[in-house]
Amino acid sequence: MAEFSIIDRYFKRASHQDVSLGIGDDSAILTPLTSQQLVICTDTLVAGRHFPLDTSAHAVGWKSVAVNLSDIAAMGAQPHSILLALSLPSVDETWLAEFSRGLFECCDQFNVALIGGDTTQSSQLTITVTALGWIEQGQAITRAGAQVGDYICVSGQVGDAAYGLHHLGHALQQRLDYPTPRCDLGQRLKGRATSMIDVSDGLAQDLGHILEASGVGATLFLDRLPIDSALKALDQQQAWQYALAGGDDYELCFTISPQKFEELSRHQSDVPFTIIGEITQQTGLLFKYMGEVYPLHVHGYQHFA
């Protein structure tokens, strides 16, 4: 099957009204909204590296979109559209049908359009998605901005995906295969959160990026980590490794003043969020357990390990 036949059959469909030109030309054209800034991110998934080789095509399609929308959410932006670059070892029409179905199900859930991309042949299955979103001028939430005295919060649960990866067939594998980008929560945090990041490489490592960018330190309370009952049944050290260093959670970790937290808490949310620590003057990340300093060494996902 030729490249353009693949695109026409599996990836071409109607787009948003504000997409002046979508799939079918050399580039897509968007019409910017008044007083909006464009937020752009990209992620690559490599078979056997970022997902097990036997992962269903539907799950790969969903995840390839979701991990990018999570980055858009981490800026407080509204996701808008994606570009897809797909490298295939061969043309497997059954796989393509399920992959595109998973991709579009994620797009549809978050009102996102596929507006362009590329397909080619490669020895290894590789999926690169570029996501675009809009945010009001000057409202983006970055990693730099955490203030001494801020609460450190995380949405949902952490460690689920890592547990699922090491216990394939367990219910938590669903959290590995089908992460949920926290787009609504990200937008609710505009004007409230002082900094934010999505948890992709492990909570401790990703929180460290906030600390470095903001020039602050933090105390993290191990007994407050929101973890599943499956992790609570493990040895404590193992549970903490999954929760702090496992990665692939795609939850939002954010800092927020106590006053803004109370304001946020007064509004109902479908996604729970938990205070897990506080920003401090000292540099680095300090762990505490039951009120006492606890020595713990964790390392997140390494892309070139």
104 CB neighbour count, 10 Å cutoff: 19
What's the burial of 95, exposed, middle or buried (CB within 10 Å: 0-12/13-18/19+)? middle
**Per the annotation, does 266 bind a ligand?**
no
**Per the annotation, does 43 bind a ligand?**
yes
CB 100 within 8 A of CB 11: yes
Residue 169 backbone zone (phi > 0: left; psi -120 to 50: alpha; other: beta): left
Q: Tell which residue, 139, 106, 108, has the closest CA to residue 39.
A: 139
**Per the annotation, does 26 bind a ligand?**
yes
237 CB neighbour count, 10 Å cutoff: 9
**Per the annotation, does 119 bind a ligand?**
no
**Per the annotation, does 198 bind a ligand?**
yes
**Per the annotation, does 25 bind a ligand?**
no
**Per the annotation, does 92 bind a ligand?**
no
CB 197 within 8 A of CB 210: yes
List of residues 6+ apart from 156 with CB closer than 8 A: 180, 182, 226, 249, 251, 271, 272, 273
53 CB neighbour count, 10 Å cutoff: 8
**Per the annotation, does 71 bind a ligand?**
yes
**Per the annotation, does 42 bind a ligand?**
yes
| Burial call 247-282: b when 16+ CB within 10 Å, e when fewer | bbbbbbbbbbbeebbeebeeeeeeeebbebbbbbee
Look up residue 4 and give its amino acid: F
**Per the annotation, does 117 bind a ligand?**
yes
| Residues placed in the known binding site | 26, 42-43, 50, 71, 117-118, 143, 198, 200-201, 248, 301
Binding-site positions for Mg(2+) read: 26, 42-43, 71, 118, 198, 201
Question: What are the binding residues for ATP?
Answer: 117-118, 143, 200
Residues that constitute the known binding site for substrate: 50, 248, 301
